[in-house]
Structure 1
Amino acid sequence: MQLQTNILNNFAISRFNEYYLPSINRHTFDNIDSKTIYEKNFKNLLHQKDNLNIIIGMDSGLLANYVLEAKFPDGSKFVFIELSSVLPLLVIDIPQHLQKKLIIVDESAVDEILSQDEIKIYITKGQYRLFPSLAVTAKHVDDYNTLLNDIESKLQNMSFQSQIDSTQKIFIHTQLANISDNHTQAKILKNTFSGQTCIVIAGGPSLDENIDWIYENRNNLFIICVSRIAGRLAKLSITPDIIVSVDPQDVSFNVSRDMFDLSDNSILVHSYHVSPKILSQWQGQCLYMGQRLPWDDKNDRDNIITVGPTVTNSSVRLAIEMGFTRILLSGVDFCYSKSGYTHASGTPEANQGPCLGHNTVWVETYEGYPAETLLQLRHAMESLEQEAQAYPDVDIINLSNRTAKITGISYVNPDNIQLDTLQSKSLENINIKYSSHDLTAMKTELTKVTVDFEKVFSLVKKAKKLSLTLNLNSNLSVKTMDEINKIEDRLNRKYSNLSTLIKFYGYHEFSNFLTTRDKDNWTQTHINNMTKSYYDAFSSICGIMLSLIENAHEKIQFRLKEMSDTPLSELAVRWKKENQPGRFLIWQKMHKQHILVQSESDLLLELSLLFKQNITPVKQTYTGVLNSNSAMNHVYTKIIRLNQSKNHYGLALTASNLLPFIAQNTEANRLYHLALSFQLSLEQQPQQALDALLAIPEELCTEMELKNIILLALKLSNLELAEATLVKILTHSDEYMPQYAHILKLQGKTQQSVNAYLDYLEKYPSDTQTWIKLGLFMIEINQVEASHTAFSNAIDADPNNQVAQEYLAELTRLMASSL
């Protein structure tokens, strides 16, 4: 026997005269009407203009009707995604005028819906929300959990891609801020180590298993490492030759603080958009990858480029460009460790404990087992695979078999790596171009481009002013629009580079110009407002760009002051303001002959203490697994997903990672035993699986645990346990009453079984299958008239039911022959 877990086509009527499916909504609407519940739980759903609302499940149709009865906010759209097993049971009448604003589909149509241009615009603009219905939130229908997870994953993928397209602002911002410090191109490193071996070290967990081998062979390895791991290597007496940093965010400085102790021994190779907080305070040699000026690449076309999406990808490309023909990888995992860790020990991420609740994908490791990874890391894997394909003459080797397997990259145990003696690690050809001459040339370039930007700004402001008059006089609108178009044409012809840069920088602001409204509903006023929005964005971003260029200009002037005899006290004011006290070290190197007076010595001591505070990591203690990304509701969804996909290995990992927390967290306790039970059940160990569930304290058991206890008890023929647990689960839903009646029947409790059937059918008289079961039961105990009545009721509920018709005909003949 299998416990009924399908959606039953049995509607109940609440005391508020609302029809709902108990299989979906249990007792949700028994005591409170749906509108009252929705007003409390979805009060913001109907107030957001120009927003896409994606709702999983319709709560037996009640949630869809609630939305339909409300006034739709302007520009809003609602997409209900219902299970294919439920949607045919529901009839939702969508008025003609709302059919483009409210869409109802099942899971099979999701990809088609999300691929629509209008939907993509909502997602690109970040104007969308995902809502679980009450039935989904209740978590008792497994298919809803799967559907919610699938939609979350699809939206994350789309949002991730749109973020790549729309978050360019910080890259341009840092590029302009770094103009004064991006002085020497990384291309001078090209082919400096042709035919030799290097190692690229990242921060993945596998670094821990390779670290001793790296230490022993450090003198015969040219070491390139990502900035976050440089400090740990130094503490182990492993000095990287090159440190690579690419992230524009200040968080990059926070996780890379220890690298500053290596400025005398390592070269920093960085992206043009690296965090200014790192670049401005690095007192050692540094080289930039990519393009120095955002509007002109003529001087950087042959420079080594930054390859995304991670710093590891850029590090491998750098090694290839330097001519290395064998590149060893360590800490390049691109996946979680078996214990759920994403980074090597000693890193802030490792100190936060294992990641349990991320929405992950699975990849294969060289060892052959599956491992979890994030979407971003899978993109990094794909990028590295492309590098391997593009450079087939370069042998890229991962030193750990516990890392994600990448086509074109092999695994070799480090004990089997033969290293030649490395003659020299020195980079004699490096010629640092940081000079007043270089800064003056950049100052001239910025002055020139400022003039052009001001001309663009003037034209844009003129177009914006014209756009404001479009709605005032319809007769003049055509002429006004013609003038605007002429300005736009001039911007695109004469200042195409700057116009493109402005739109690239202001992608988010310009996306407001895009509309999600159907073209059939466009009015002239709406079109005019779109034009106004376009030039609002153009004007706003142009003004911001001018301000950024002015800041870059001022920074160059300040750098020239640092080289001159400007008083240290004046320089220190800006260093403190920008929280970059480490500049004093660079100043000291430029002014070695300067004799300090007491006030300057005191000031340098103050700056030194500030810098030391900045580069001293705040000790992070592990506060437990319950951080935002590992919230237990996400862990539950993950466990259900792993069970449905029969991933017993993933369940074993999840259970193992939950085990340390079961003593202090009741939800972790419940989920540990649930994951363990699912794992053991998939491994055909039903008694052990049942024991795992019975180990959960009774007060922690939810419907999910009770349901699986019943299934396992039946599998093991433990009818007493099945009966006792069914009594408990009936408090959650009447849906289980037929199973309860059947268990009573199996135990010979005939009258109790009949009563249970009749109690259920009195409440749900349209349940044809249960009437048939009762009819067969009555035949077994020789109650022919009762059986006849049961099959008659089955036909009343479903006149076309062939099984009921056949049994009823046979019983009619039998009763006639006995007369």
Structure 2
Amino acid sequence: MNDNNDLVNSHILGPVTVNSFGDKFLFNLNRHNFDKVNSITLFDTKFGETLFNENTLYVIVGTDSGLLLKYLQNKAIPKGSRYIFIEPESVLTALKEYGLIVPAEQHERILCVSLHDWAFAIRSFKIADYFYINAVRSFNAFCAQDDFINEYAELSWNIVEVLAQLNWENNTAIGQEAFIDRQIKNIADNRLPAKLLQHAFGGQTVVILAGGPSLDEALPWVRLHRDKFVVFAVSRISRQLLAADIEPDFVFSVDPQEISFDISKEMFRFGSRTVFICSYHASSKLINQWQGLMLYLGQRVPWESHLNVANLGGAGPTVTNAALNVAYDLGFKRIILAGVDLCFTRDGFTHAKGSNEQLVGPKLNLTSLQVETNGGFLAPTGNDYAQAIKTLSLQAKRIVHSGGRVINGSFGAAKIEGVEYIPLAEIGLESSAINAKAIVDSKVSDHVIKEDYLADVLSELKRAEFQVDAIRRLAERARSINDSMYNAEGLLENYKDKRKLDQIEKKFKRQHRHFAKLVKRFGIRQFIQLVRPFNDEDWTFEEAKRLGNIYYDAYSEGTKKLSRLIEDAIQRVVARQQESESTPDFDLLFEQWRKDKSFGRAKAWRLKHPDVEVSAANEALLDEFEREFQEVLDRKDTRHLSRIKSRSNLTIVRQRAGLLFKHKKLEELQDLLLSLDKHEQQQAAEPYRFLIQGYLAELLDDAASALNAYQKIIEGGEVLLEDALIRIARIGIDHEDIHNVHLALDCLSKLNPVYLPFYAEIQRLQGDMINAIDTYSVYVSQFPSDTLAQIKLAMLYVDCKSYDGAEMMLDFILSEKPDYQAAIDIKQQMLVNRGQ
């Protein structure tokens, strides 16, 4: 029965089949994806224009039996774009053997490789340049999404992991536009630099609270000893701190993304004791609605300016790294980390109780990346955490070198060089209380914000507006000159024009050098084409003209984006000036607050102007803004919650469990089973739980328990039915239980015709030749191009001495493949047998 081991092999690709639209594909890669519509229509519907952006590197897992690759090869490839398809080795080999993919060398901007050649592909296609312009996109083809062969999940996770790591390695220039965007939006509100508190807490102790799972264990200890240390908290744990009745001294945020507001908005419920320390580029909705003391990190404006006073830095990559930097700069000599795990629990929980991540259940799509913990065991982590670990280690070593200490009190936190592990209960604390607010007030009170601060900012923004507009006019003039200095044949005709362009370039570099650099950051997608990572041919005059136009268009595009930001910032500053007036222009205020969705400013205005008389109409609008702000704070179903729900999707479990079983990862399977016990959809999780129990039993050589678990899946319905039947067949083969193998294959062949040949083989082994012939005939009628199955059917006819049937089958094969030697040999042997 060992001849049938292939039936449970994960490389069952099925035969090549042709649908009614003429699409050829390996049946078990795509099954019924192309039954109702042809592949081109399906790809158009699924991907639309998302696969055809210019200057983009696409990484696509799977080719849908070569159909998606062919689809792209027949399209006009966008300018500057390239495509890397990656397939499992076995699939790629089969696609080549069946002629379903065209050799890569025929398409210089499309590669189809296995993981073995992945490093070569990304180097030759200059992935770093695409990362530089934030233009790497990854997709899963239909075959990878469905993963009927249990090969694509591992490949896809591997690629996602590698791309994330490469992104981190190339992220110094990525996302600058978003940071500068927030920086300009926040100019009016970034008033007090965090440097005012430098060395303010010399020799004292601070506890930095982050959102890792160990926060749950730390909060009771923090509450018990609250007055013995200063408390730093990342903004995302505000909900948990409120539930624990802990008000931090400082709350931190650095993320420029708007979703940061969703996960941090509970910080607005803290009292006046809490100081907000934020990066200059933190979410504008957090910064412009905070009603207490706020200190910013970094520079006020992204150009050389007197507004950029000396300040503390706040480099990441995470908010915890930024908080640790500030703790060092403020003079703390002992820094205790709590909830700073930088890894997940073994059962998949990434954050503490009360967080959105914990509410939706365990993370099921964990990658293979792991780190050693303080407890000595391995725990899963992510690429962002892995990078944060490296940075935190460097920070800790600097602090230790200066005579300080960094301590982590969590057994399950990542072990980090430079950070001591001491359980919280064993850490000795100061006997006297620390009054952080009094220290802060003493340092900040002498630095009252100047009355004319906003006027100063407004003047600086108008200077920037003038500079950017001058660059725009120069770029437009240069574009016009560049167009006119070539003749009809594309040759350079007027060298005087060339000198004019040189003079304009000098103005960019001298008169406007600071703002020209800033403009370039906003036109980076266009400017990167001038580095020419996308083609290597020599320049022609025509190409020089085209690139010149790209260059000046890039300047124009950058000035347009930057001008819009500066104009918005000017309007915002004018609105802030009105907020200081006793009788403001309420229409202007309301318009700005609506535009920025900064409804919380209404309450702040009322607190600062308690004695100002307001008309009934304006009073009603102020009430409306306050209600709107309160509704935003109370809203639970946020975008962040919706986004993270996908990672606890149960369909991920099948792929992950199969991957862990394949690599015999017993402990990780047990952890995955434990995570299902905590999933919010317990009834839906049942078949997945049985599947994992079956896998675990097989790894422990307990066939009876495995069969019992798989039988429960079959009794439960259609979910994971095919997976269970395959394992039952596998166990039956291993234990020579032909009855169970027969039943399993009978069911499998009804679910998926790809199993019909295996069922036919079992029937043959049982001596049921007639039914074996019938089963093979059903299969061959569905897949008339599977020559191997046709040969086996012909041989069955021969074994049964049904020579007419055999001859008919062999003639059909030879009509399609006249030189097919196996068919010729059988036919000759059959003639000999019939002659005897």
**What TM-score do you get using the length of structure 2 for normalisation?**
0.80
1:173 is aligned to 2:216: no
Contact 1:247 1:273 in 2 (8 A): yes
Counterparts of 2:69 and 2:589, CA distance in 1:
63
1:434 maps to amino acid: I
1:81 maps to amino acid: I
Q: Specify which of 463, 483, 497 is matched with residue 478 of structure 2.
A: 463
> What secondary structure does 1:462 align onto?
helix
Counterparts of 1:313 and 1:219, CA distance in 2:
24
Aligned to 1:688: 705
1:351-362 map, 5 Å: 351-357=359-365, 361-362=369-370
Contact 1:10 1:767 in 2 (8 A): no
Aligned to 1:809: none
1:11-22 map, 5 Å: none
> What secondary structure does 1:436 align onto?
coil
Counterparts of 2:600 and 2:374, CA distance in 1:
43
> What secondary structure does 2:547 align onto?
helix
Contact 2:673 2:689 in 1 (8 A): yes
> What secondary structure does 1:700 align onto?
coil
Aligned to 1:318: 326
CA change 1:482–1:726 in 2 (3 A) is farther
Counterparts of 2:188 and 2:565, CA distance in 1:
13
2:431 maps to amino acid: T
1:182 maps to amino acid: N
1:107 maps to amino acid: L
1:190 is aligned to 2:201: no
1:534 is aligned to 2:551: yes
1:711 maps to amino acid: R
Counterparts of 2:426 and 2:774, CA distance in 1:
71
CA change 1:516–1:709 in 2 (3 A) is farther
Aligned to 1:714: 733
1:413 is aligned to 2:429: no
Aligned to 2:749: 730
Question: Root-mean-square deviation (CA), in Å?
Answer: 4.5
1:403 is aligned to 2:413: yes
CA change 1:642–1:363 in 2 (3 A) is farther
CA change 1:424–1:68 in 2 (3 A) is closer
Q: Could you give the per-residue CA deviations for residues 672-729 of structure 1, whole angstroms, max 9, x where no partner exists?
A: 3323322333344433233222211353344333222212233455432222102222
Counterparts of 1:39 and 1:280, CA distance in 2:
43
Contact 2:276 2:292 in 1 (8 A): yes
Q: Structure 1 residue 134: deviation in Å?
A: 5.2
Counterparts of 1:227 and 1:144, CA distance in 2:
38
2:450 maps to amino acid: S
1:469-618 map, 5 Å: 469=484, 473=488, 474=490, 475-476=492-493, 479-508=496-525, 510-511=527-528, 517-520=534-537, 524-567=541-584, 569=586, 572-573=589-590, 576-577=593-594, 578-583=596-601, 586-587=604-605, 595-597=611-613, 599=614, 607=622, 610-611=625-626, 613-615=628-630, 617-618=633-634
Contact 2:134 2:174 in 1 (8 A): no
Q: Structure 1 residue 295: deviation in Å?
A: 0.8
1:628-667 map, 5 Å: 628-659=646-677, 666=684
Q: Structure 1 residue 216: deviation in Å?
A: 0.6
Aligned to 1:790: none
Counterparts of 1:447 and 1:28, CA distance in 2:
58
Could you tell which deviates more after superposition, 487-496 or 618-627? 618-627
Counterparts of 2:500 and 2:202, CA distance in 1:
59
Q: Specify which of 626, 636, 640 is matched with residue 620 of structure 1.
A: 636
1:154 is aligned to 2:154: no
Aligned to 1:782: none
CA change 1:338–1:359 in 2 (3 A) is closer
Aligned to 2:816: none
1:308 maps to amino acid: G
Q: Structure 1 residue 214: deviation in Å?
A: 0.7
CA change 1:47–1:203 in 2 (3 A) is closer
Contact 1:27 1:733 in 2 (8 A): no
Q: Specify which of 97, 110, 119 is matched with residue 111 of structure 1.
A: 119
1:549 maps to amino acid: I
1:429 maps to amino acid: K
1:708 maps to amino acid: R
Flag structure 2 segments of 5+ consecutive residues without an equivalent: 800-805, 807-818, 826-832
Q: Specify which of 70, 75, 84 is matched with residue 89 of structure 2.
A: 84
Could you tell which deviates more after superposition, 502-511 or 213-222? 502-511
Counterparts of 2:538 and 2:723, CA distance in 1:
48
Counterparts of 1:487 and 1:110, CA distance in 2:
44
Could you tell which deviates more after superposition, 222-231 or 541-550? 541-550
Counterparts of 2:288 and 2:65, CA distance in 1:
60
Contact 1:10 1:764 in 2 (8 A): no
Contact 1:166 1:507 in 2 (8 A): no
Counterparts of 2:399 and 2:786, CA distance in 1:
71
1:103 maps to amino acid: L
Q: Structure 1 residue 316: deviation in Å?
A: 1.2
Aligned to 1:392: 400
Counterparts of 2:680 and 2:421, CA distance in 1:
37
Contact 2:192 2:449 in 1 (8 A): yes
Counterparts of 2:309 and 2:788, CA distance in 1:
73
CA change 1:600–1:136 in 2 (3 A) is closer
Aligned to 1:433: 448
CA change 1:105–1:469 in 2 (3 A) is same
Aligned to 2:385: 377
Contact 2:710 2:728 in 1 (8 A): yes
Q: Specify which of 287, 292, 297 is matched with residue 284 of structure 1.
A: 292
Contact 2:729 2:740 in 1 (8 A): yes
Aligned to 2:809: none
Q: Structure 1 residue 299: deviation in Å?
A: 7.0
Percent identity among equivalent residues? 26
Q: Structure 1 residue 45: deviation in Å?
A: 8.8
Could you tell which deviates more after superposition, 622-631 or 304-313? 622-631
Flag structure 1 segments of 5+ consecutive residues without an equivalent: 779-785, 787-795, 805-814
Counterparts of 2:40 and 2:452, CA distance in 1:
72
> What secondary structure does 1:534 align onto?
helix
Could you tell which deviates more after superposition, 756-765 or 706-715? 756-765
1:145 is aligned to 2:153: yes
Q: Structure 1 residue 354: deviation in Å?
A: 3.3
> What secondary structure does 2:108 align onto?
coil
Counterparts of 2:62 and 2:592, CA distance in 1:
56
> What secondary structure does 1:187 align onto?
helix
Contact 2:132 2:170 in 1 (8 A): yes
Counterparts of 1:31 and 1:257, CA distance in 2:
47
Residue correspondences, number: 784
Contact 1:10 1:766 in 2 (8 A): no
CA change 1:62–1:684 in 2 (3 A) is same
Q: Structure 1 residue 94: deviation in Å?
A: 4.7
Counterparts of 2:252 and 2:558, CA distance in 1:
31
Q: Structure 1 residue 451: deviation in Å?
A: 3.9
Q: Structure 1 residue 220: deviation in Å?
A: 0.5
Q: Could you give the per-residue CA deviations for residues 94-135 of structure 1, whole angstroms, max 9, x where no partner exists?
A: 589833133232221112211235444455556565454554
CA change 1:669–1:482 in 2 (3 A) is farther
CA change 1:206–1:175 in 2 (3 A) is same
